[in-house]
C-alpha cells in the first residue's frame, strides 16, 4: 500500500491548483464547509469522525486521508478513530475492513499506532 502521507501531500498540491483555476467555486465550497464544520449540537471532533465513516463507506481515498487527519487535529484519539472504523466495518463488512486499512496505515505513519 502506498505511503498515505505522500498521497496527502500530492492531494494538497493538486487541490491548490484546483483552487487557483476555480477560485469562485472553491470559495463557495469552503464557505459552506466552514459553516458545517463548526461546533454545534455535535462537536467538530464528532463531525470529523462521522465524515471519516462516510468517506470509508464511499471508498474515497482522498476523503479518508483528509478526514482521518482532520479528526485527529480536532482532538480525536487513536481509540476514537479505531472505534469509528469498527462501526464502519459493522455497516460495510469486508469492504469496510479493506478501506479501514488505509486509516491504520496512516495512523502508523503518523506515529499513533505501533
User: Which residues constitute the domain of residue 100?
Assistant: 4-109
Residue 27, in any domain of the structure: yes
Instruction: Kindly indicate the confidence band of residue 107, based on its pLDDT and cuts at 50, 70 and 90.
Output: very high
Domain count, the chain: 1
**What's the pLDDT at 113?**
96
pLDDT score of 61 = 97
Q: What is the pLDDT of residue 90?
A: 97
Confidence (pLDDT) at 42: 98
Tell me the pLDDT tens digit for each residue of 91-100.
999 999 999 9
User: pLDDT tens for residues 81-92?
Assistant: 999 999 999 999
Query: How far is CA 97 from each of CA 24, 68, 86, rounded to the nearest angstrom?
Result: 38, 15, 9
**CATH for 15:** 1.20.1290.10
- The DSSP letter of residue 114 is -
| 114 domain-assigned | no
Amino acid at each position: 500500500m502506498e505511503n498515505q502521507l505522500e498521497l496527502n501531500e500530492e492531494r494538497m498540491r493538486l487541490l491548490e491548483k484546483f483552487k487557483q483555476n476555480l477560485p469562485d467555486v472553491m470559495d463557495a465550497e469552503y464557505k459552506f464547509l466552514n459553516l458545517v464544520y463548526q461546533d454545534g449540537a455535535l462537536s467538530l471532533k464528532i463531525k470529523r469522525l462521522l465524515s471519516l465513516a462516510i468517506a470509508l463507506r464511499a471508498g474515497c481515498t482522498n476523503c479518508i486521508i483528509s478526514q482521518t487527519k482532520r479528526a485527529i487535529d480536532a482532538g480525536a484519539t487513536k481509540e476514537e478513530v479505531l472505534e469509528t472504523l469498527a462501526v464502519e466495518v459493522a455497516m460495510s463488512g469486508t469492504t469496510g475492513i479493506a478501506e479501514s486499512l488505509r486509516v491504520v496505515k496512516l495512523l502508523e505513519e503518523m506515529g499513533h499506532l505501533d
